[in-house]
């Protein structure tokens, strides 16, 4: 893709909802736009009062290239809320930021388009009123978007809670999805989270188009269905994989890379549950013992356990001490020669692209999945919240690029099973098949974003309209 040159740059406003998992793909999208098109970008950042940015977010915003600016919108006080449901909290933060978003959009010069994520649908009305084209950047996969478009039909035809459905949902070109694997907010029809999912879905039609961070060879059936099934839906543009480039060796957390430099080639399992995922005390204990018994080298981005929530660090992630007193007694000492424990955060893209990294035990966030595919790192799928169970099904049953540990009747993955799945990934026949498949996908991913790739052409088709818009 060659950068286009024009004297006056039109502007795109990008509005990610709160959370590092939303901010990162929007920043990478912004970098892609300014690197290849004559556009300027402003990020409008909603936030919840009392939530403090972590080191990773501060570093990201401080390192934005020329052409990308950001505005911190007034934080929203939700201290009166009695729920910590992510769908509810994020939706209310964005909804209550609409007035500030309107003022910001009105004050910015030459804004031709505004792009939000799936929680930003209230902004579509504002954009239309201001004569600005609204778009959605759906930062997860095409199957999830197709599933969302089919929710109205499910709601009308299924009378029980989705978790009690006997038959799976079968979407064109997709693996079957059982109701128990729907995201948590959909499991209770009377919940606030359920309401907000449908609130946003009703507004999808206001979007001019929907970008998806995926590519044709990864999800051909879902993408083709989205592009042909219903002409009344917004146009869908697969533009991925959009992933972070290397952060370099001077980043916060670079001790990880120094440690990796000393490890043998393809010998390390990377363990991380994303920017917000947390395990219960019992599960963390079982994972630790399983890692120890595997006798495999590991790099573990670890957080204090949380017995109340699997996304306990979603907003705040400030455990920077290295006192691992919540681990099994003696674990850190016994594993110090082959394991590295890092509190809260590591430069993931540098770890995944490192020559010593063999595999990735992941929470199945879509950003992490795409980064693994690009760098051909085989996966152990360990979903925690949001759409991650559905992502795990795609990886394990659809694409065959991940092994998935089984939990017991109490929802705990026991230590012996942790050990077995790690050894299978590294030394077993199933692991060998996973490595073959992810190497194929890695090549397809590179082709998709090449100068002649499908994703590149898809992005160009929209971005050229933005650059040529007249005032």
Q: Which helix (H) or strand (E) element contains residue 13?
A: strand 10-15
At 337-359, the pLDDT tens digits run 999 999 888 999 999 999 999 99
Q: How far apart are CA 389 and CA 287, in angstroms?
A: 19
291, 35 in Cβ contact below 8 A?
A: no
Confidence at 413, pLDDT banded by 50, 70, 90: very high
Residue with tokens 């590179």: 446
How much of the chain, in percent, has pLDDT values that exceed 90? 82
Q: How far apart are CA 427 and CA 3, in angstroms?
A: 45
Confidence at 85, pLDDT banded by 50, 70, 90: confident
Q: Give the mean pLDDT of 379-393.
A: 95
At 200-245, the pLDDT tens digits run 999 999 999 999 999 999 999 999 999 998 999 999 999 999 998 7
pLDDT of amino acid 251: 55
How much of the chain, in percent, has pLDDT values that exceed 70? 94
Distance of CA 188 to the CA centre of its chain: 24
Pairing of strands 68-72, 111-116: unpaired
Q: Give the mean pLDDT of 78-88.
A: 89
The per-residue b/e assignment along 380-415, b for 16 or more CB within 10 angstroms, e otherwise, is: bbbbbbbbbbbbbbbbbebbebbbbbeeeeeebbbb
Q: Considering only CA atoms, which of 343, 347, 346 is closest in space to residue 320?
A: 343
The DSSP code sequence of 389-437 is: HHHHHIIIIIS--EE-PPP-TTS---HHHHHHHHHHHHHSHHHHHHHHH
**Residue 421 reports pLDDT greater than 90:** yes
Confidence at 439, pLDDT banded by 50, 70, 90: very high
What domains, with CATH codes, occur in the chain?
Answer: 10-242+449-468 (3.40.50.2000), 255-445 (3.40.50.2000)
What long-range pairs does 150-153 form, CB within 8 A, spacing at least 24? Answer: 151/186, 151/197, 151/198, 151/201, 152/198, 152/201
SS3 292: helix
Query: Which residues carry out catalysis?
Result: 22, 117
């Amino acid at each position: 893709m060659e950068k286009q040159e024009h004297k006056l740059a039109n502007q795109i406003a990008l509005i990610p909802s709160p959370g590092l998992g939303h901010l990162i793909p929007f920043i990478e999208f912004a970098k892609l736009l300014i690197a290849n098109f004559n556009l300027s970008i402003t990020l409008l950042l909603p936030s919840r009062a009392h939530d403090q940015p972590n080191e990773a977010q501060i570093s990201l915003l401080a390192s934005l290239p020329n052409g990308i600016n950001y505005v911190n919108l007034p934080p929203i006080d939700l201290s009166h809320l009695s729920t910590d449901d992510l769908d509810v909290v994020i939706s209310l933060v964005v909804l209550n930021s609409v007035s500030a978003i309107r003022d910001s959009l009105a004050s910015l010069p030459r804004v031709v388009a505004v792009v939000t994520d799936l929680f930003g649908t209230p902004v579509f009305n504002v954009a239309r009123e201001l004569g600005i084209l609204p778009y959605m950047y759906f930062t997860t996969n095409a199957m999830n978007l197709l599933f969302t478009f089919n929710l109205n039909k499910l709601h009308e035809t299924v009378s029980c809670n989705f978790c009690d459905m006997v038959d799976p949902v079968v979407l064109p070109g997709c693996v079957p999805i059982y109701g128990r694997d729907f995201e948590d907010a959909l499991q209770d029809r009377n919940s606030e989270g359920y309401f907000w999912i449908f609130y946003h879905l009703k507004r999808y039609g206001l979007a001019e188009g929907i970008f998806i961070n995926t590519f044709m060879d990864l999800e051909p059936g879902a993408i083709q269905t989205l592009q042909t099934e219903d002409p009344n839906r917004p146009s869908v543009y697969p533009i991925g994989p959009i992933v972070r480039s290397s952060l370099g060796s001077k980043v916060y957390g670079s001790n990880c890379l120094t440690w990796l430099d000393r490890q043998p080639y393809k010998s390390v399992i990377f363990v991380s549950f994303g920017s917000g995922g947390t395990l219960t005390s019992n599960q963390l204990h079982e994972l630790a013992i399983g890692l120890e018994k595997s006798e495999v080298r590991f790099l573990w981005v670890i957080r204090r356990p949380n017995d109340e929530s699997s996304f306990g660090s979603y907003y705040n992630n400030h455990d920077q001490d290295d006192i691992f007193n919540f681990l099994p007694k003696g674990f850190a000492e016994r594993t110090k020669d082959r394991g590295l424990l890092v509190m809260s955060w590591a430069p993931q893209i540098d770890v995944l692209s490192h020559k010593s990294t063999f595999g990735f035990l992941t929470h199945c966030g879509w950003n992490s999945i795409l980064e693994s595919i690009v760098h051909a790192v085989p996966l152990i799928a360990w979903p925690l919240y949001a759409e991650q169970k559905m992502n795990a099904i795609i990886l394990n049953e659809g694409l065959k690029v991940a092994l998935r540990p089984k939990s017991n009747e109490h929802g705990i993955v026991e230590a012996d099973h942790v050990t077995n799945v790690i050894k299978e990934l590294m030394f077993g026949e199933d692991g060998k098949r996973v490595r073959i498949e992810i190497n194929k996908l890695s090549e397809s991913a590179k082709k998709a974003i090449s100068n002649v790739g499908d994703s590149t052409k898809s992005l160009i088709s929209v971005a050229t309209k933005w650059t040529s818009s007249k005032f």
